[in-house]
């Protein structure tokens, strides 16, 4: 490449960046004078390095490679797992299209991955939440599980894009993952990729007039589907409502605001704060959009798989004392991202603001603390070893294959036989048997026998006075303050 062309390319690139800075106030914040001078100096240095590499590197370099590398490095330097560069040909770019079409071939796991991997703490893939009825969910993969390898590839040694590239693929093909649960429980699972179409709402009537509403994710369709559920419950004569937000990874802030407005008739539902003035917003309830009868008591279920928009709903209902929260502390994602289109068909996803509950709490990295904590029992070391031994056999798969019309009593009898060899709680063993069965059958909406969090929520609705309980609860902000004081005291 000729020097004149090199400098023209570098100059054009710098001009594009300067145009973005000077004429895109909707994207970039106005800085102060000293910051502007510093930014200008670094832009000049970048232009110099860009041109120098083009002109002097031993091999000729495609300028796009340098551009993409610089963009990735710049956004990764923010050390924000939710901010990233999106190459249109990359898997992340494909994911944006998948969001629009609503389907893709995959295993149905919402995952995260640390940017830095060390010997002490390898950057294994962590499951944030499995999508309900997906291959990952049917295999019993849980929030907090680590994927140590995928088809033999160590996940600590590859990027998130590479992880997604391996997990995704044609519908009907298999992928094998090694899972670590807890400190030492490890086992392999072979997942058959399926067409992932995320359902947004599921609902059913339970006994004693309880309407059970599971919100899986907040999409543009969620408010309408929630209203469908409320209309169904009203027709069935419900007297209590149980909203299950567990493993809900979030979604659109406008969607969750519309859902919250069905329950909240006035005041701020959520606010966003940023150093950019136009990102400082308040999403307020409108009384004409409220459709829920406030005389009906609400219990909300949350766990560590509940994140982002689901935390907005739980936090708003808690702050206004409209719902009693049960389960475990939520994931803690209190930031708002936007996807900004760039000039080459690429884009960047960047954190633009943080959101706050009506009481003024930001739950980023801390989560929402439930009013009543209900945890699944942790496995002992002996139980972990027993389960590891069991899951390395085909005993459960062989039994289910031999009993294609498996009944509840058959599953329980077999779980008792397993317990004689593998000393693990019967509830857990039976759950493993039924999960294997549901790989090829439609799974029930809920399981009161295994799901102790759900059972606790149902018991609270049936036996306790929710309005009186709500008088004793604290806002999200107050609970954060108390938690911090307890941590300082200890």
Task: Indicate if 14 belongs to the active site.
Answer: no
Distances (CA, A) of 29 to 25, 32, 36, 300: 6, 10, 11, 38
Distances (CA, A) of 271 to 27, 287, 400: 19, 18, 50
* SS3 of the chain: CCHHHHHHHHHHHHHHHHHHHHHCCCCCCCCCHHHHHHHHHHHHHHHHHHHHHHHHCCCCCCHHHHHHHHHHHHHHCCCCCCCEEECCCCHHHHHHHHHHHCCEEECCEEEECCCCCCCCCCCCEEEEEECCCCHHHHCCCCCCCEEEEECCEEHHHCCHHHHHHHHCCCCCCEEEEEEEECCCEEEEEEEECEEECCCCEEEEECHHHEEEEEECCECCCHHHHHHHHHHHHHHHCCCEEEEECCCCCCECHHHHHHHHHCCCCCCEEEEEECCCHHHCEEEECCHHHCCCCCCCCEEEEECCCCCCHHHHHHHHHHHCCCCEEEECCCCCCCEEEEEEECCCCCEEEEEEEEEECCCCCCCCCCCCCCCEECCCCCCCHHHHHHHHHHHCCCHHHHHHHHCCCCCHHHHHHHHHHHHHHCCCCHHHHHHHHHHHHCCCCCCCCCCCCCCHHHHHHHHHHHHCCHHHHHHCCCCHHHHHHHHHHHHHHC
Burial of 184 (0-12, 13-18, 19+ CB in 10 A): exposed
- Determine the angle formed by the axes of helices 33-56 and 63-76, rounding to 10 degrees: 140
φ/ψ of 26, rounded to 5, equals -75, -15
Task: Indicate if 294 belongs to the active site.
Answer: no
Task: Indicate if 319 belongs to the active site.
Answer: yes
Per the residue annotation, which of 134, 308, 330, 359 is the catalytic one?
A: 308
Joined tokens for residue 78: 């923010």
Per the residue annotation, which of 319, 346, 371, 451 is the catalytic one?
A: 319
Per the residue annotation, which of 318, 333, 349, 430 is the catalytic one?
A: 333
Give the C-alpha separation, 350 to 345, whole Å: 16
Catalytic (active-site) positions = 308, 319, 333
């Amino acid at each position: 490449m000729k020097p004149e062309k090199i400098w023209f390319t570098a100059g054009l690139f710098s001009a594009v960046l300067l145009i973005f800075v000077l004429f895109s106030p909707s994207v970039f914040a106005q800085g102060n004078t000293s910051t502007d001078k510093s930014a200008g100096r670094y832009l000049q240095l970048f232009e110099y390095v860009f041109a120098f590499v083009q002109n002097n590197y031993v091999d000729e370099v495609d300028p796009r490679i340098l551009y993409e590398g610089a963009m990735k490095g710049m956004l990764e330097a923010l050390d924000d797992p939710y901010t990233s560069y999106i190459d249109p040909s990359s898997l992340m770019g494909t994911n944006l299209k998948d969001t629009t079409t609503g389907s893709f071939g995959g295993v149905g796991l919402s995952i995260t991955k640390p940017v830095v991997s060390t010997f002490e703490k390898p950057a294994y893939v962590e499951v944030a939440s499995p999508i309900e009825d997906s291959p990952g969910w049917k295999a019993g993969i849980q929030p907090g599980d680590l994927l140590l390898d995928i088809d033999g590839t160590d996940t600590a040694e590859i990027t998130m894009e590479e992880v997604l590239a391996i997990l995704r693929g044609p519908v009907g093909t298999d992928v094998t993952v090694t899972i670590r649960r807890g400190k030492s429980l490890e086992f392999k699972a072979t997942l058959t990729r399926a067409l992932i179409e995320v359902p947004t709402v599921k609902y059913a009537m339970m006994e004693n007039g309880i309407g059970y509403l599971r919100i899986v994710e907040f999409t543009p369709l969620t408010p309408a589907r929630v209203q469908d559920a409320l209309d169904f419950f009203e027709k069935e004569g419900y007297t209590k409502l149980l909203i299950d937000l567990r493993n809900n990874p979030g979604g659109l802030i406008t969607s969750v605001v519309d859902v919250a407005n069905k329950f909240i008739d006035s005041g701020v539902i959520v606010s966003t704060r940023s150093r950019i003035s136009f990102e400082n917003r308040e999403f307020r309830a409108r009384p004409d959009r409220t459709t829920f009868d406030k005389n009906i008591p609400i219990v909300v279920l949350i766990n560590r798989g509940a994140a982002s928009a689901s935390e907005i709903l739980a936090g708003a209902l808690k702050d206004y004392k409209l719902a009693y929260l049960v389960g475990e502390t939520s994931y803690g994602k209190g930031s708002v991202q936007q996807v900004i289109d760039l000039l080459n068909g690429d884009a960047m996803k960047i954190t633009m603001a943080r959101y706050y509950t009506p009481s003024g709490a930001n739950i980023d990295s801390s989560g929402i603390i439930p009013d009543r904590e209900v945890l699944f029992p942790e496995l002992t070391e002996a139980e972990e070893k027993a389960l590891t031994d069991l899951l390395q056999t085909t005993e459960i798969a062989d039994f289910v294959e031999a009993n294609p019309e498996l009944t509840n009593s058959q599953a329980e009898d077999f779980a008792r036989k397993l317990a004689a060899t593998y000393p693990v709680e019967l509830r857990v063993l039976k759950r493993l048997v039924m999960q294997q069965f549901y790989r090829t059958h439609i799974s029930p909406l809920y399981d009161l026998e295994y799901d102790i969090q759900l059972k606790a929520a149902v018991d609270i609705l049936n036996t306790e006075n929710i309005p009186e309980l709500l008088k004793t609860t604290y806002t999200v902000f107050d609970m954060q303050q108390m938690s911090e004081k307890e941590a300082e005291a200890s």
